Structure 1
Amino acid sequence: MTAALRLAACQFSSSADWAANLDRIGADARTAADRGAQVAVFPEAAMGRFGSAAAAAGQPLDGPFADGVRAVAEQTGLLIVAGMFTPCGDGRVHNTLLVTGAGVETRYDKIHLFDAFGSRESDTVAPGDALVTVDAFGTTFGLATCFDLRFAAQFTELGRRGAEVLLVPASWGEGPGKAEQWDLLVRARATDAQAWLLACDQAWTPLSGTDPLGIGRSACIDPLGGVRARLAAGEGILIADVEPSLAADVRARVPVLAQPGSKDRG
């Protein structure tokens, strides 16, 4: 049986200054580690908010932002997941999750881009094309980002690939019905994968144009869709204890993932 894990969702509003955002990641990571967390998840666009020069230009994975996050992971012993933007070679960037620490070093490039509600993420961001799972602390984690939450097949496939805990950074824009949709989708996607799901959004930021800037409401959801913990709109750190073995128990009792059906990536 996999031992219990303590997860942290570090909800804050990133600025246009990547160095200031890195300092905030360091401070929140140290607080999370002091509170016993083993995994710390930061929002999508933690390096630089949407619409900023930092987001438009990106940085390579051997650049100062990523190296700074690696140093924080090494200092704290945490597995850290943080959103950043990386050059892709066609004038756009990838919307990338850097996953580092605890013996892990990988990336996930957001597959489903936010071409909705008047926004056109694909104008400046190139999509990824591969699902990603990683193993740490005796647990298999699956990765997804924000708008991916609207695509159930991605989460079903992550569950089929053995993910017991899903880590989902986001920058979920404000708008009519958006909070209700967020609350619904994080619960639905946990049940699709029959896995724990930790979603970390940007803290609430006043709407500005069509850029998705965050509503808060970071949450920890269990494999049956139950809300185990949730933050409000403002900045803060959610600490949640999860039992990864519950995913296997739910899958045995309700064998949805074993049923025939599409195994497309979503």
Structure 2
Amino acid sequence: MRIALSQLTTGPDPGANLALVEKETRRAAETGARVVAFPEATMAAFGNPLAALAQPLDGPWADGVREIAAQHRVVVVAGMFTPAPDGKVTNTLLATGPGVEAAYDKIHLYDAFGYTESHGVAAGDRIVTFQVDGVRVGLATCYDIRFPELFRAHADAGAALTLLPASWGAGPGKAAQWDLLVRARALDATLWVAAVDQADPAASGATAVSGAPTGIGRSSVIGPDGTVRHVLGAEPGLLVGDIDADEVAAVRRSTSVLANRRLVRGMDGETRIGGSA
């Protein structure tokens, strides 16, 4: 299955960002991609008043994405913000296209490195997968990459691929952590990981919002053996790669980390999933 990752820089205007989605989806469809994934916060970049910009999943922005996906006959995955109680929003991935309609609300919120996403964002609590051309795909968002249990849950649900849209926060060591984590999660769950980040605003000629996680680029496709198959730099670009589900089965036969998991009891008496070395 061919996928495309659209690494771009979005701004505060959902309409202008939707036009970018249309342009990049058309480019992806011309390559034969069946799925095109856009970053977290595609609808509107972090650092803007998200509650004022949020729209429901049946609102005009999401409907616009649906129309684009239908027109180009591809599945589009894009980050948006939907209204939540108490004036908050949910950080949502919309997946829509022929035979697919799903939405994932980010489970692990970015309360780290001096940023507190939970001040304005409500956490999700549901694992989401969907199927394209017989390949099951899991959804995760940005900070989720630090939590291997989610990716193993995708594998347990039959996924061969996790799509990870992100708007990664810049800072000392953060690029190295990103590169390490996307490879580690592929190894943890022995599945493909396709991570699409916002482009570095400086490389796009845009002004970053101070203190907001606005992306560093380095979108990548990682094989189920943890090897880097494709990677972009900091600037905007379209990454196209082919996902081989049969390779997942082969890696799981030789590296049986999922099959070798065991239940272990902690000192507090709680039962947890453990792994074998």
> What is the TM-score with the length of structure 2 in the denominator?
0.91
| Aligned alpha-carbon RMSD (Å) | 1.4
> Which residue does the alignment assign to 1:232?
233
Matching residue's letter, 1:121: E
* Cα distance in 2, alignment partners of residues 204 and 120 from structure 1: 21
Name whichever of 240-249 and 214-223 sits farther off: 240-249
> Which residue does the alignment assign to 2:249?
248
**Which of residues 49, 63, 69 is equivalent to 2:65?**
69
Name whichever of 51-60 and 17-26 sits farther off: 51-60
> Which residue does the alignment assign to 1:257?
258
> Does structure 1 retain, via aligned residues, the 8 Å contact 2:39–2:198?
yes
User: Could you list the runs of 5+ residues in structure 1 that have no partner in the other structure?
Assistant: none
SS across alignment from 1:90:
helix
> Which residue does the alignment assign to 1:154?
150
CA drift of 1:89 comes to 2.1
> Which residue does the alignment assign to 1:167?
163
> Does structure 2 retain, via aligned residues, the 8 Å contact 1:18–1:54?
no
Would you identify which runs of 4 or more consecutive aligned residues in structure 1 move more than 3 Å? Answer: 54-57, 261-264
Matching residue's letter, 2:26: R
> Which residue does the alignment assign to 2:210?
209
Matching residue's letter, 1:45: A
> Does structure 1 retain, via aligned residues, the 8 Å contact 2:110–2:116?
yes
* Cα distance in 2, alignment partners of residues 182 and 224 from structure 1: 17
> Which residue does the alignment assign to 1:99?
95
> Does structure 1 retain, via aligned residues, the 8 Å contact 2:39–2:197?
yes
Name whichever of 127-136 and 205-214 sits farther off: 205-214
CA drift of 1:209 comes to 2.6
SS across alignment from 2:162:
strand
CA drift of 1:54 comes to 4.5
Equivalent pairs counted in the alignment come to 260
> Does structure 1 retain, via aligned residues, the 8 Å contact 2:7–2:236?
yes
CA drift of 1:153 comes to 1.2
Q: How has the CA–CA distance of structure 1 residues 241 and 228 changed in structure 2, closer, same or farther, with 3 Å as cutoff?
A: same
> Does structure 2 retain, via aligned residues, the 8 Å contact 1:37–1:239?
yes
Cα deviations by residue, 1:140-188 (Å, 9 ceiling, x for unpaired): 0011000000111111121122110110000001100000000000000
After the TM superposition, which residues 44-123 of structure 1 pair with which residues of structure 2 at under 5 Å, given as runs?
Answer: 44-54=40-50, 56-123=52-119
Q: Which has the larger radius of gyration?
A: 2
* Cα distance in 1, alignment partners of residues 189 and 173 from structure 2: 24
* Cα distance in 1, alignment partners of residues 159 and 99 from structure 2: 18
Give aligned-pair identity as a percent: 52
* Cα distance in 2, alignment partners of residues 38 and 71 from structure 1: 16
Matching residue's letter, 1:226: T
> Which residue does the alignment assign to 2:11?
15
> Does structure 1 retain, via aligned residues, the 8 Å contact 2:73–2:97?
yes
User: Could you list the runs of 5+ residues in structure 2 that have no partner in the other structure?
Assistant: 203-207, 264-271
> Which residue does the alignment assign to 1:39?
35
> What is the TM-score with the length of structure 1 in the denominator?
0.95
